[in-house]
Amino acid sequence: MPYLLFGLLLAYPFAEVMSLIWLADAIGTAWTVVWMVASFACGVLMLRHSRLAVGLKLMNDMRSGQVGVNSLFGIARYFVAAILLIIPGLISDVIALVLLLPWKSKSNLGQTKVDDGIIDAEYRRVDPIDETPRIER
């Protein structure tokens, strides 16, 4: 197992360089350099404005009552995607773009249900008014 991990660690930079070479061969060197500069700039801007994005997301989740593990995973995905965009290479950029997709989780782990179909109320019984005339004494 440690050899597999070591082999993957050595193979990843090689795969990144090879993907850049194949991309430069397919679309041209200038467009590949533009792609790398643009992805680096996007990653830096995402990290620079991450405090604002995290704050707005947490405020929105707190207002809707949905703060939980899923919202925290969304924030972690944002940070990892920003780091992957900074790393030069096509594979890391594709992984970052997949992480930035809006995922809908089926898990309700750490979240409270907003609408569970139960209506909580108090009631009292009111008898209908009898319309028949009463005998006065």
What tokens appear for 64 in the block? 């809707």
pTM for this model (two decimals) = 0.66
Contact present, 36 and 86 (Cβ < 8 Å): no
Q: How far apart are the first and last CA of the chain?
A: 101
Between CA 15 and CA 38 the distance in angstroms is: 20
Q: State the pLDDT at residue 117.
A: 73
Least confident of 22-26, 30-34, 37-41, 57-61: 57-61
For the beta carbon of residue 47, count every other beta carbon within 10 angstroms: 15
pLDDT in tens, 70-117: 777 878 888 899 999 999 889 999 999 999 888 776 555 555 556 667
Q: State the pLDDT at residue 33.
A: 93
Between CA 89 and CA 86 the distance in angstroms is: 9
Q: State the pLDDT at residue 137.
A: 61
Of the chain, the percentage scoring pLDDT greater than 70 comes to 87
Q: Write the CA distances from 18 to 73, 76, 78, 96, integer angstroms.
A: 31, 28, 26, 18
